[in-house]
């Protein structure tokens, strides 16, 4: 089955997560977040992640029914435990708690033990739309699941350490920034074909994105090299961004 509209894609994604064990509510939160990433042009954080979420549920790395819980750790701060559930669900819970606290005091919210958060800028946009300034940072996973090689390095040793911040723009649109400390998101290597329509690459097999202080040569180097077929995977799925009407 092929989705031709955003609504069809959302319905399909929700069915996939519901079959894997997610509630209808949580499935909708996650899939809507992923589709918004595609619609924003950030395909590396879009519905391409759905198969990985299902895989992690089956492996016990993602608890699809986990409910976030929060506890106060001071007069103006809160710590939210995601209980290894969907990161999007836990992040929205932490964001709501932080904005509630911000109405009465300067605030900070921490979030621990959750799965992939998705596109970090999404949360900065939500806060800015409601009139709040935000600074959002993510750490961890460098030991369990490193993604980036350090400058002049070849082996993955570091986490991506993404950062996002935003603030309302008065009479203009809100201003938001969202970036990771890498030269490229590794999922972009998976979701992108070069102009000669060569097969997409599996970055974990063929190399490591560099931290931002290193110059990324990996894409051009790999596309021009004679790689063994075992290092190349033909991705036959359609680009999710093309299924969404952006008008």
Instruction: Please tell me the pTM assigned to this model.
Output: 0.76
Regarding whether 38 and 18 lie in a shared domain, the answer is yes
CATH number, residue 21: 1.10.1530.10
Domain boundary among 62, 81, 99: 62
- Do the domain assignments include residue 33? yes
Domain boundary among 77, 95, 114: 114
Length of the chain counted residue by residue: 247
- Do the domain assignments include residue 22? yes
Instruction: Indicate the DSSP class of residue 65.
Output: T
- Do the domain assignments include residue 71? yes
pLDDT tens digits along 64-94: 999 999 988 777 888 999 999 999 999 999 9
Those residues whose C-beta lies under 8 Å from the C-beta of residue 66, and which sit 6 or more positions away, are 82, 83, 84, 85, 86
Number of domains in the chain: 2
| CA–CA gap between residue 86 and residue 15 (Å, rounded) | 16
Domain boundary among 73, 90, 114: 114
* Residues linked to residue 232 through DSSP beta bridges, in sequence order: 201
Regarding whether 11 and 57 lie in a shared domain, the answer is yes
Whole domain around residue 36: which residue ranges?
Answer: 6-62
Regarding whether 106 and 76 lie in a shared domain, the answer is yes
Confidence of residue 182 (pLDDT cuts 50, 70, 90): confident
Confidence of residue 208 (pLDDT cuts 50, 70, 90): low
Strands 77-85 and 108-114: parallel
Higher model confidence: residue 148 or residue 210? 148
- Do the domain assignments include residue 48? yes
**pLDDT at residue 50, as a whole number:** 92
**pLDDT at residue 217, as a whole number:** 36
């Amino acid at each position: 089955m092929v989705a031709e509209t955003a609504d069809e894609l959302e319905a399909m994604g929700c069915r996939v997560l519901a079959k894997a064990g997610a509630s209808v509510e949580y499935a909708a939160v996650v899939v809507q977040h992923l589709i918004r990433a595609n619609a924003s042009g950030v395909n590396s954080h879009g519905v391409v992640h759905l198969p990985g979420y299902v895989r992690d549920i089956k492996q016990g790395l993602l608890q699809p029914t986990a409910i976030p819980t929060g506890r106060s750790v001071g007069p103006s701060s809160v710590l939210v435990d995601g209980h290894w559930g969907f990161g999007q669900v836990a992040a929205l819970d932490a964001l709501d708690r932080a904005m509630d606290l911000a109405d009465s005091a300067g605030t900070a919210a921490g979030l621990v033990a959750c799965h992939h958060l998705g596109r970090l800028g999404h949360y900065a946009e939500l806060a800015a739309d409601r009139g709040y300034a935000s600074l959002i940072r993510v750490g961890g996973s460098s030991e369990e699941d490193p993604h980036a090689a350090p400058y002049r390095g070849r082996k993955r040793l570091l986490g991506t350490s993404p950062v996002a911040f935003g603030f309302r723009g008065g009479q203009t649109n809100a201003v938001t920034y969202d970036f990771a400390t890498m030269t490229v998101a590794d999922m972009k290597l998976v979701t992108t074909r070069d102009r000669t329509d060569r097969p997409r690459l599996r970055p974990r097999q063929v190399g490591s994105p560099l931290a931002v202080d290193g110059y990324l040569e990996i894409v051009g180097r790999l596309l021009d090299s004679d790689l063994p077929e075992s290092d190349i995977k033909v991705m036959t799925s359609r680009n999710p961004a093309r299924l969404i009407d952006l008008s």
